[in-house]
């Protein structure tokens, strides 16, 4: 369990911050968190496309990893309006988020499309962050586990175990995301994380599947961050609104980091 020894904390700024705002946010976040050892924590920010080059120049890569919110599944071609992995490489990106709830539900992306993007991201040397999550209706039918397993099995289809060493998964129930979202309870989140872990080990074996970081996202806030990070299956938090102010994000980081470390120490001593 090497990758999962550290905590993963990240934010997606969606379509909210201009280049100037993104740079100011990153500089402040870096200033507030730079003394925390990166052996203990991977901190990442996923700003909008237009800001990426300036974002990359504004803070050191070893302190804050940066990612894109989406990516085309081809390097080049007749794909008007799309962004190629080559362009994201050039902008110095480390990761690419694939299948965020808003991509799936507002822009109607399918599991098959997410799969092409995940494979292309791996081939291009990125760390893909695959987002999965059921809708309220699916939860109501009692098929959340089936939906998540399908999103993972289709989304990661054809991936070699060695490529899986770079992926991360975010569990973000659709009903929990955004201004109208209701955060998942810690028990429910942990239960679905367990389903994700079982699916990953089924796909990639105990060693590699057991080592993929799985983050929870969806209305994480300063009140629920602590109880969520204490759950055994949750390796990190993927935060929207509550992380868009660098001081607020830093306050959450400071709260959850010691709790996460105590959890891992507790596991080691068993």
Sites of contact with ligand PGA (CB under 6 A): 12, 172, 177-178, 181, 217-220, 238-241
Selection from 117, 57, 118, 123 nearest residue 93 by Cα: 57
Q: Cβ 252 to ligand PGA, closest distance in Å? A: 11
| Residues recognised as catalytic | 100, 172
Q: Cβ 151 to ligand PGA, closest distance in Å? A: 15
Q: Cβ 267 to ligand PGA, closest distance in Å? A: 27
Provide the 3-class DSSP secondary structure of residue 122: helix
Q: Cβ 225 to ligand PGA, closest distance in Å? A: 10
Tokens of 186: 């810690």
Provide the 3-class DSSP secondary structure of residue 262: helix
Q: Under 8 Å CB-to-CB from 21, ≥6 apart: which residues?
A: none
Provide DSSP, 37-103.
Answer: -TTTEEEEEE--GGGHHHHHHHS-TTT-EEEES---SSSSSS-TT---HHHHHHTT--EEEE--HHH
Nearer to ligand PGA, 129 or 257 (CB): 129
User: Nearest-CB residue to ligand PGA?
Assistant: 240
Tokens of 78: 């007749």
Q: Cβ 192 to ligand PGA, closest distance in Å? A: 15
Selection from 235, 234, 240, 236 nearest residue 220 by Cα: 240
Nearer to ligand PGA, 84 or 190 (CB): 190
Nearer to ligand PGA, 175 or 204 (CB): 175
Nearer to ligand PGA, 183 or 209 (CB): 183
Selection from 228, 221, 268 nearest residue 249 by Cα: 221
Q: Under 8 Å CB-to-CB from 207, ≥6 apart: which residues?
A: none
Cβ(214)–Cβ(234) under 8 Å?
yes
Nearer to ligand PGA, 88 or 177 (CB): 177
Q: Cβ 155 to ligand PGA, closest distance in Å? A: 17
**From residue 216, how far is each of 11, 59, 83, 168, 221 by CA, in Å?**
11, 25, 27, 11, 12
SS3 percent helix, strand, coil of the chain, rounded to 5, is: 50, 15, 35
236 forms beta bridges with 8, 215
């Amino acid at each position: 369990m090497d990758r999962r020894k550290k905590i993963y904390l990240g934010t997606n700024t969606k379509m909210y911050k201009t280049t100037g705002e993104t740079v100011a946010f990153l500089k402040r976040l870096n200033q507030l968190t730079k003394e925390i050892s990166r052996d203990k924590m991977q901190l990442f920010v996923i700003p909008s496309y237009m800001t990426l080059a300036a974002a990359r120049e504004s803070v050191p890569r070893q302190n804050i990893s940066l990612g894109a919110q989406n990516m085309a599944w081809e390097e080049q071609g007749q794909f008007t309006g799309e962004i190629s992995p080559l362009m994201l490489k050039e902008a110095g990106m480390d990761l690419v988020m694939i299948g965020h709830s808003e991509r799936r539900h507002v822009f109607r992306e399918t599991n098959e499309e997410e799969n092409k993007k995940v494979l292309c991201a791996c081939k291009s040397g990125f760390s893909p962050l695959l987002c999965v999550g059921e809708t309220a209706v699916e939860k109501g039918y009692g098929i959340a586990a089936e939906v998540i397993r399908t999103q993972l099995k289709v989304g990661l289809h054809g991936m070699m175990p060695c490529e899986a060493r770079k992926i991360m998964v975010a569990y973000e129930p659709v009903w929990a995301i955004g201004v109208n979202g209701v955060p998942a309870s810690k028990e429910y989140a942990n239960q679905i994380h367990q389903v994700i872990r079982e699916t990953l080990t089924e796909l990639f074996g105990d060693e590699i599947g057991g080592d993929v970081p799985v983050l929870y996202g969806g209305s994480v806030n300063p009140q629920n961050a602590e109880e969520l990070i204490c759950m055994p299956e949750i390796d990190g938090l993927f935060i929207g609104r509550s992380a868009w102010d660098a001081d607020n994000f830093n306050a959450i980081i400071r709260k959850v980091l010691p709790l996460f470390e105590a959890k891992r120490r507790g596991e080691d001593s068993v």
